[in-house]
Amino acid sequence: MIDYAGQVAVVTGAGRGLGRLYALDLARRGASVIVNDVGGSMGGDGHDTSVADRVVDEICAAGGHAVASHDSVASAEGGQAIVDAAVQNFGRLDVVVSNAGIFNSIPFEQISAPDWRQMLRVHLDGGFYLSQPAYKVMMKQSYGRFVFISSSAGNFGQPMEAHYAAAKTGLVGLSNVIAIEGAAHGIASNTVLPTGFSRMVSETVGDEKFLTESGFMRAIQPDLVVPLVTFLASRNCTFTHRNYSACAGRYARVFVGLGDGWLAEDGTHPTAEDIESHLDDVSRTDAFTVPDSIVDEVLQVCERRGISAMPDNADVAFPASRS
């Protein structure tokens, strides 16, 4: 059994959905958990302390150890306060699962500057505001694990989510650098691109028939994401600088592939016309799969699972799943 006895974990956005499941599994395995959640709406409005408190009660009732944090990751002060809660209550910090986020769907041409900034402030800025003070604690300990919750919406694209996609993929860049700089200090950092049924899906899809009858929706049970996050956050995970997708019980590494391309002759000065004439070589991916969108990933999983993404005769367009 992967054991977290003696370790302390911060899980943000842990009051509901996938975040709650991450916190529960880490606590079940012996971790002392800071359950962080402001208790707001999916769009980022409001505040409800009981959301995090209920998960703490759930963990403690099962014999575990947990403390609630109601601070927002969207400010440097909030990120520091979350880390301070771990150190002050449990004396150290071993794991950060950066999961807090908001979500809304807006066509690209309609995204306002405040829409853009709010999304990046919670996801990307929040990832930084939390990870930097946590990193400093982990450096002193010579050990730490970061798991950033990214999204296929960014890596592969998703309509009406330019702001969300940019913020989520920004976390991949953040994780990559933490992985490189943290290696000398025993700190590993990886990302997970989860697809799981949650309010992010149910409140945005809206079509009850689709939600209840789609084979894919039934397949993306949120608990199927948890094993990947639990492993990556553990001592058993000895690698860093990687990205993994969890979708309907299929777990796979996600990577940016680089083809051999076309090598111009030494000493020459290629022109745009040379690029065009060698475009097949420049663009070749050979055995690599490079999805054009998040929908491609979903449909590939559906095909391998032998399930339909749509209920028969459903009068709705297939919506990309939300991570």
The set of catalytic residues is: 164
Structure tokens at 171: 């976390």
Helix locations, the chain, DSSP H: 17-28, 50-61, 76-90, 113-120, 126-141, 152-155, 162-182, 199-205, 208-213, 215-219, 226-232, 272-277, 279-283, 294-305
Instruction: In whole angstroms, give the CA distance from residue 95 to residue 87.
Output: 12
CA distances from 43 to 19, 160, 199, 292 (A): 16, 15, 11, 27
Instruction: In whole angstroms, give the CA distance from residue 46 to residue 167.
Output: 21
Q: What is the DSSP letter of 168?
A: H
Amino acid letter for position 171:
L
- According to DSSP, the residues that pair with 146 across neighbouring strands are 96, 189
Q: Residue 50: what are its φ and ψ, rounded to 5°? A: -65, -20
Q: What is the DSSP letter of 175?
A: H
Minimal CA–CA distance to 25: which of 245, 200, 252, 223?
Answer: 223
